[in-house]
Structure 1
Amino acid sequence: MRPLQHSLLSIFISAAALSATSGNIYVSPAGDDRADGSINAPIKTPSEALRRAREWRRLNSPEAADTIQIILADGNYTLSESLFIRPEDSGTSSSPTIFRSANDSKAVISGGTEIKGWGIAKNDPRIPNALIGKIWVADAPTKGHRIVETRQLYVDGKKAQRASQFAPGVMDRMIDFNTSDRTITVPNTDFDIAEANSLEMVVHQRWAIAILRVKDMRHDSKGNLVVSFHDPESRLEFEHPWPQPVIGGEKGNSSYYFTNALQLLDTPGEWYQDYPSGKIYYYPEDGSDPNKSKIIAPALETLVRIDGNPERKVCNVKFENISFEYASWLRPSMEGHVTLQGGFRLLDAYKLAVPGLPEKAELENQAWIARPEAAITVSNSSGIDFHNCLFTHLAATGLDYVAGDSDCNVTECSFTDIGGTAIQIGTFPDGG
């Protein structure tokens, strides 16, 4: 009887082990999306793993009876599109879907793309003679049939400075802010802006900043520069009454600086992307060869989009020990960036000729806003949790619980190198 007892025991152990791992889907950067997703045959992408989990739930498969774990091996998972999680992906309180890194590793969900093939920039009249041989250039990577445009560049995990008029943290004072002809007057510059067709001006106005694409620059009778800008930001900047730059205030005039021109690329560590060629120029620190560094440009703005609706929410999806990295923010290159506060950009704003609204009789101005972009957005959900995750190298908001979300937890997570807000919650008004 002993052999039979041993056989029955072996069968029981094997069945128990199978049951314990039957809800696991294994993913690896070296995997294959045609594989079965077992530990010895992992699939390649988180999106395919999510589809497998969705099918288990749709078909009421035994694998969905308990927790479904999507287990990501160590490494980078570079997305070509946002990971879209929808109501059909919902788990339950007793059977959640969990994305987690394997063991003690930290898998990286990334929207970045590496820039390679650097060479010394030659025969470009915009580069001063003193810097010839020090500026490097590379073709922008492509995504589909289009070059990747970027406003952010990271060298060995450190954010590089866009080519700017002054050293980081240094600004100059404007001379005049003219709402009638929609111009800003500033001191004359010591650089040639004739070929700076992508030049931007960053204006500090009270508690907010504005990013304005320069349309034209001319000299006035005193030799100062009078600068005008493209719409829609020109209209917004000069029509919205609050906040606007200060001229003649107690602490002087508001400050500004110019950025985004090859003529401004004069400090080690700075970079610039040309338009429309897409070529990326970089002035390495310490004269190093950029081909020996890992240089990343974010190519995707939203890494994860969790999107339910009020009638059918996304429920019980969790992320554990995952790193979310390299999300882009490109909108200011298309339409500038004029904010009200908190990074909420203006859609329209102006002073009321006759004050008052039905709900507030003394109101003197009116504004409509839109929320900032985010690397991860969550809408109409319940039980969407992040535990021990890292959010880094993200150009706008890190994590945004937009609207209709409840019972969500963010615990023991780190947010670093975030361009905007780490966590944003809630919305106002409707559509905001």
Structure 2
Amino acid sequence: MQRAQRAAREAATTAPVRVLLLDGTHRLRRPLILDHRDSGSAGREVTYRAAPGARPVLSGGLRVTGWTLHDRGRGIYRAPVPRGTRSRQLYVDGRRATRARSAPFPNGFTRTAAGFRAADDAISRWRRPADLEAVAVLQWKVTRCGVASVTGRELTMRQPCWANANSFPALWAFPQLARLENAYELLDDAGEWYLDGAAGRIYYKPRAGERLATARVELPVEEVLVDVRGAATRPVEHVRFEGLTFAHATWLRPSGDEGYAADQSGFHLTGTGNAPNAVGHVERPTRTPGNVRLRHVRDITFTRNDFRHLGGVALDFDTGSQRNVILGNRFTDISSAAVQVGGVLRVDHHPSRAADVTRDNRVAHNLITSVGREYQDAAGVFVGYTTRTTVEHNDISDVPWSGIALGWGWGLVDPGSFPGLPGATPGMWGTYTTPTTSRGNRVLRNRIRRFLSVVWDGGAVYTQGRQGTNAADGELIAGNVASDKRPAGGGNVFYTDGGSRYVTLRGNVSLNNPIGRTNFGPCGLTDSLELCALKVPYGSDRGGCRPYGDITYRGNYWQHPDPFWSACPYPPHPVGVRDEGSTVVGSAKDVPRRILDAAGRQGRWRTQAGAG
């Protein structure tokens, strides 16, 4: 790949350039890194594409072979890998295996200041107890912190992950143990695996019908497949990726001391000095990076590619991404979000340079399914502070939280610093007199199925913060069809959350999305969860927690029409809410066929999304 890149770089100044990838798996031991020297120009694009009839795979995986039966009684097999190998995922014949894990909410664990106390000292006698990872599932957050040491019954957690996770209020901190992961001793169910990287061994318990002698077993070991590194003064421009498969990459930061202390939608806390806060969010979180990542890029196109079996965000357009197109791709089995556009930091919401604005990007006709497999707080598509982003005609299904999430800040960095979070105060994240870059964004005619499949307090389309300076340049959510939410998952199908302002919802449809419930976990695990037994109805087809207002509903089709504004304690009712001609429906037959047919991928993209 690097040789082809050098040849393309030399030729790109005189004519369009095509780099043709032949059939087969191209294993990358370092990422393909592009900078401004790899740019094309208008009419002289540089294209990386599949050769005719080929299905090339850019893989960051290590093929695992040499399996032998290790424990006949438990049905566990073992294979060698290079010493020091690190990974968080394993795939057997194209199917994600499960990291060895405990039963949900294991008995006998109580919370301590430093971590957890077990019912007995059995864990201290495990072969590598410091490989363990503790997981918390908390409303819309899923947090993961590693175990630093085990002494007797005491599990001491890694820092700064433990401190960061517990900087949030109790309900959203790390109050209880949802499960333990990543120990040989937890290998008890078929399809589970454990990697002892220090010893250079991997263990797996096959599923029924799997034969490891012939199975294709892939262990992702690289974190980045393609890294497009533009700069504000030297962006990367006019590059296309067509018909390729990006597969088998991991993301290793959560396995370190920082873990994964979730804020929201793939953004998390890192470093030290994150002071306790009362609102459940921080001003400067860290993004989950992409296995294919781009920054300060213009006129980049991804068309008909496959993104599969990836351990971070699949495709990540960071700060300064302008006029890019993500068209007709297929995303499946992704640990975090499928697509991420724009950021949430000051350089994104109040940039000092026009080159830092993320604007005029399009995400269209993509098939997105089974995302958020590991970081279940992630959306299918996340859009941060951006101008004129269009997310249209996508098919999104099987997402643990929200299908599409757009916006950030909960009003706190908007002019006037609207406190769109319980416990927030104006000015707590600074004082701004000018609007953010969020304006003119469009969420149009997407088909979203089976959302809120794991956590709760999200929606099919979730938005927050001020979205323009008036209704004309605000956010438009139109023609989207959302259905088949997990029945127990509480949330608003079309969710205008904290600080939402200048949002128009027109011609959207909600079908088979029963009102869910709250769920703060089992009782008796910690004294801090007074609400653990409180499972009450939560949500509707529309509504939100502390939106500002200036929200217009026009010609929508609801099954649960009453807006849900009571999501937060002492909520201010939003101002300027207009409801113009919505219809209550019982089933799909009550919705005009033209609206249902127009949602999701259209034309050739219905059958041609992805590389093959």
Structure 2 CA distance for partners of 1:77 and 1:231, relative to 1, 3 Å: same
Hey, what does 2:91 align to over in structure 1?
154
Output aligned runs, 1:133-148, within 5 Å. 134-140=75-81, 142=82, 147-148=84-85
Hey, what does 1:211 align to over in structure 2?
144
Deviation at 1:217, TM superposition (A): 4.8
CA distance, structure 2, for counterparts of residue 272 and residue 365 of structure 1: 33
Instruction: Tell me whether 1:200 sits opposite 2:133 in the alignment.
Output: yes
2:267 to 336, 340, 344: 344
Hey, what does 2:47 align to over in structure 1?
98
Hey, what does 2:337 align to over in structure 1?
421
Hey, what does 1:55 align to over in structure 2?
10
> Deviations along 1:18-55, whole A, 9 cap, x unmatched?
xxxxxxxxxxxxxxxxxxxxxxxxxxxx2211110111
1:400 to 293, 304, 316: 316
1:74 to 12, 23, 39: 23
Structure showing greater relative contact order (alpha-carbon pairs closer than 8 Å, 6 or more residues apart)? 1
Hey, what does 1:107 align to over in structure 2?
56
Is the contact made by 2:85 and 2:198 (CA closer than 8 Å) also made in structure 1? no
> Deviations along 1:264-283, whole A, 9 cap, x unmatched?
11111111011421310111
Structure 2 CA distance for partners of 1:68 and 1:147, relative to 1, 3 Å: same
> Deviations along 1:248-301, whole A, 9 cap, x unmatched?
xxxxxx551111111111111111011421310111122744121111111111
Hey, what does 1:259 align to over in structure 2?
181
- Code of the residue aligned with 1:164 in structure 2: it is R
Structure 2 CA distance for partners of 1:243 and 1:370, relative to 1, 3 Å: farther
Higher mean alpha-carbon deviation, 287-296 vs 229-238, is at 287-296
- Code of the residue aligned with 2:87 in structure 1: it is T
Sequence identity (%):
28
SS in structure 2 of the partner of residue 291 of structure 1: coil
Structure 2 CA distance for partners of 1:405 and 1:418, relative to 1, 3 Å: same
Is the contact made by 1:351 and 1:366 (CA closer than 8 Å) also made in structure 2? no
SS in structure 1 of the partner of residue 321 of structure 2: strand
- Code of the residue aligned with 2:163 in structure 1: it is R
Hey, what does 1:24 align to over in structure 2?
none
SS in structure 2 of the partner of residue 69 of structure 1: strand
Deviation at 1:246, TM superposition (A): 7.8
Structure of greater Rg: 1
Hey, what does 1:117 align to over in structure 2?
66
CA distance, structure 1, for counterparts of residue 280 and residue 236 of structure 2: 41
Number of aligned residue pairs: give it.
344
Is the contact made by 1:389 and 1:412 (CA closer than 8 Å) also made in structure 2? yes
Output aligned runs, 1:12-411, within 5 Å. 46-57=1-12, 60=13, 64-65=14-15, 67-121=16-70, 130-131=73-74, 134-140=75-81, 142=82, 147-166=84-103, 170-172=104-106, 176-178=110-112, 181-185=113-117, 193-197=125-129, 198-217=131-150, 227-241=155-169, 244-245=172-173, 254=176, 256-286=178-208, 288-335=210-257, 336-347=259-270, 348=272, 349-351=274-276, 366=282, 368-411=284-327
CA distance, structure 2, for counterparts of residue 173 and residue 430 of structure 1: 44
CA distance, structure 1, for counterparts of residue 291 and residue 281 of structure 2: 32
> Which has a greater percent of helix?
1
CA distance, structure 2, for counterparts of residue 424 and residue 136 of structure 1: 38
Structure 2 CA distance for partners of 1:48 and 1:334, relative to 1, 3 Å: same
CA distance, structure 2, for counterparts of residue 267 and residue 171 of structure 1: 17
> Deviations along 1:368-420, whole A, 9 cap, x unmatched?
32111211111111111000111000011000000111110011111100000
SS in structure 1 of the partner of residue 222 of structure 2: coil
Is the contact made by 2:85 and 2:197 (CA closer than 8 Å) also made in structure 1? no
Is the contact made by 1:314 and 1:380 (CA closer than 8 Å) also made in structure 2? yes
CA distance, structure 2, for counterparts of residue 309 and residue 174 of structure 1: 52
SS in structure 2 of the partner of residue 235 of structure 1: helix
Deviation at 1:71, TM superposition (A): 1.1
Deviation at 1:195, TM superposition (A): 2.9
- Code of the residue aligned with 2:250 in structure 1: it is S
CA distance, structure 2, for counterparts of residue 364 and residue 111 of structure 1: 35
Structure 2 CA distance for partners of 1:194 and 1:298, relative to 1, 3 Å: closer
> Deviations along 1:139-178, whole A, 9 cap, x unmatched?
11x4xxx642111111011111111112xxx444786544
SS in structure 2 of the partner of residue 406 of structure 1: coil
SS in structure 2 of the partner of residue 350 of structure 1: coil
Structure 2 CA distance for partners of 1:161 and 1:284, relative to 1, 3 Å: same
Is the contact made by 1:83 and 1:305 (CA closer than 8 Å) also made in structure 2? yes
> Deviations along 1:121-153, whole A, 9 cap, x unmatched?
2xxxxx6x832xx2111111x4xxx64211111
TM (norm. structure 2) is 0.52
- Code of the residue aligned with 1:210 in structure 2: it is T
Deviation at 1:330, TM superposition (A): 1.3
CA distance, structure 2, for counterparts of residue 117 and residue 405 of structure 1: 44
Deviation at 1:351, TM superposition (A): 2.2
Is the contact made by 2:266 and 2:288 (CA closer than 8 Å) also made in structure 1? yes
Unaligned runs of 5+ residues in structure 1 are 1-45, 122-126, 220-224, 248-253, 356-362
> Deviations along 1:64-113, whole A, 9 cap, x unmatched?
32x21111121111111110111011111111011111123321111111
CA RMSD of aligned residues (A): 2.7
SS in structure 1 of the partner of residue 166 of structure 2: helix
SS in structure 2 of the partner of residue 213 of structure 1: strand
CA distance, structure 1, for counterparts of residue 23 and residue 319 of structure 2: 33
Higher mean alpha-carbon deviation, 233-242 vs 422-431, is at 233-242
- Code of the residue aligned with 1:391 in structure 2: it is F
Is the contact made by 1:298 and 1:326 (CA closer than 8 Å) also made in structure 2? yes
Structure 2 CA distance for partners of 1:431 and 1:345, relative to 1, 3 Å: farther
CA distance, structure 1, for counterparts of residue 281 and residue 143 of structure 2: 19
> Which has a greater percent of strand?
1
CA distance, structure 2, for counterparts of residue 318 and residue 182 of structure 1: 49
